[in-house]
Chains A and B, each alone.
Chain A
Amino acid sequence: MTPRWILPALTALAFVAQSISAHAATIQITMENLAVLPPEASAKIGDTVEWINKDIVAHTATARNGDWDVMLPPNKTGTLVLKKAGTVDYYCRFHPNMKAVLKIEP
């Protein structure tokens, strides 16, 4: 038996989800020739970061504070939805000479 409130509740949820995604942006960051471009990026909570790995080797986007660790296979893209504010230094675990900063605003 489905409770009577479930349909309006789902509709409301869908509406909320839609309005969030309408405001959330996608920030693209490229990894090419072992460089992170741009090396400093800004985003807001709810935004999606899309790392595009254009190299022939795998990279990672690994937060120094341990918040996230995104695998980026060669010629593939990895994404992360931002959930926590702060200035996060991140690097590639496989090639620690690749370093960058992501500023996440509330």
Chain B
Amino acid sequence: MMFVRLSAAIAAVSLLSSAALAQGAKPTDPQIAHIAYTAGVIDIKAAKQALNKTRSKEVKAFAQDMVRDHEAVNKQALDLVKKLKVKPEDNDTSRTLSKNAADKLAELGKLKGAAFDKAYIDNEVAYHKAVDNALETQLIPSASNPELKNLLQTGLKIFQGHEQHAEQVAANLK
């Protein structure tokens, strides 16, 4: 059980990094903005699915927090790219992220009740770990605009909070 979850987390992390590394050179600011925004949209979609399916008060509250926070961060990101006149640019990492997320939504869509809750929260832990790792090791170091770097750093702290929050919810579900 432990191994399944761990390997899922590692797979998620390596997917993120290998997709970014596949491009060879470090991602550009327009690509970074696109990746960060996509990562937020993915988590909002997952949360909306959870809001439709869960009956757990705690899971529901967590999903509502995810929608609220990721929408706030993405709004800030949109305001910033507008201000900087940067056009977010689609790229392999964004595409891989979206493809994996669509698969995960379909997989979770088949589950019900406690099985769904557990799978959703476990995936939230793994997903935030993967995104935090990508932000820390690739996106933040690669960002050249200081305001973009700053927003990514704030985002990282918020998402680290989500990671811990998800871990707490996961522990309570046991």
Contact = CB atoms under 8 A, between A and B. Distances in A.
A58 B162 CA distance: 13
B72 to A, nearest CB: 5
Contacts of B75: 56
A21 interface: no
Contact of B165 (A33, A74, A96): A96
B65 A33 contact: no
Contact of A94 (B65, B76, B153): B65
A71 to B, nearest CB: 12
A92 interface: yes
Interface residues of A, number: 14
B100 interface: no
Given A33-B154, A34-B154, A56-B73, A92 B161 contact: yes
A95 B165 contact: yes
Contacts of B76: 56
A98 interface: yes
Interface of B: 65, 68-69, 72-73, 75-76, 153-154, 157-158, 160-162, 164-165, 168
Interface of A: 33-34, 55-58, 74, 92-98
